[in-house]
Structure 1
Amino acid sequence: MRILTFIVMGIVLLSACKKDSPKAPEKADLIAPAKNSECTPVQDDGANSSLVRFNWKAADHTENYELRVKNLNTDAVFSKSTTGTVEIVSLDKGTPFSWQVITTNSETNTATESDVWLFYNPGSQTDHVPFPAEIISPVQGSTAFKDINNKVSLKWSGFDLDGDIVGFTVYFSAENPPTDLLSEVKANVDEVEVGVVSNTLYFWKVVTTDGKGNISTSDISEFKTR
């Protein structure tokens, strides 16, 4: 009986000493600049730039935040590491940007990415270039399943502050960058089907055109078929 008691006590002590597994940082929820918007700068920072305030919600199990802001005209990326949830950055006027926040902690090797939001830092422009189309499906780097007709649906989302998108041009191929014209569709279309074969890596992109002839090009997305 005494031996059994010692065994039970040992199990209880081991359970009490066992530490919980480290938790990965959660995703940060973005606040401002708002998605698909023209931001309101804090103040001018010279003739060609202004100060923009970035804000996001604190994420659980997070010790550090990395703010990434990308100039969509030049693809230049500004990166800042911080423990807070507010940063002010000097950005070019009259320019579209994307931004996101990446969360990390010292207990895991996991880096969790937030959503990516697009916005304009206003300038003297009277019209806006459409934002690059957002690739919805297939998700970047994923495996896509063909339907019974050996086709996959390509889906995206487009947005223009002026609301004058006239159409999208979709390029698709098994080569990177994709150069084969798949389809030209009007502004109210955001999905096309394409024939594919199994076990093949495909690349695609979407070019958005507005009523003034302005164009923007999405990032190249890839997926593999099964």
Structure 2
Amino acid sequence: MTTPTRPIASLEGVASAGRALTLLSAFRKGDDAVSLAELTARTGLVKTTIMRLAISLEEHGYLVRLPDGSYRLGVELFRLGSVYQQSFRIEAHVMPALEKLVAATGESASLYVRSGNQRLCLYRADSPHTLRLHVRQGDLRPMDDSATAQVLRLFEDVAHRGETGVSLPLYTSGATDPHIASMAVPVFGPGESFAGALSLTGPVTRFDREAANRAARTVLTVAADLTRALGGTPHPSGQQS
């Protein structure tokens, strides 16, 4: 009886692809070139395996071997990154996150970015209640003392984010309008870029401090999940169990 070889070969191919991906994933932000010894330490792969994988990755433009024997990432990865950026639709990630917040809290959810001395509503999902703050995508609001505006000011400067010393999510009541309360947290993208402020708004008669406290964990979790979907690292406050 002939022993089937295709499944074994297939498994070996999958394992080889996995090791190649492990090798590429070993490169970190700030790396220029990485030595063979360091790649061995980071991946747990033996040097001979790394060298064998590197030959194939070099041939396809994913790695470059330097004269001193170290490695850096190749231009093919840059090309793929550009393709990904062009095909990436932020709306496909943001709107489900906003809709999830609305479903869980009953209040309106938005993603704001700063536009000069104002804040711009990029995306919006309205509360099912008739009593709500009526804001549309594309509307400009003042950079006031609301939770949303505070988050935009606090987290737009990468260099000073660690100095904010604030407890998230931020909550304010009556900052813009005496009848409106808001809650906001930051959302991040690749390379520590600040993607905007994820916010909930509602009438103070319904979205009071007690209601905000009940919604806080959900807001933090949704913000952390959205940040990961956008390729960022969640704020420590959002990495709760």
Tell me the TM-score normalized by structure 2.
0.20
Higher relative contact order (CA 8 A, sep 6+): 1
More helix by share: 2
More strand by share: 1
Tell me the TM-score normalized by structure 1.
0.21
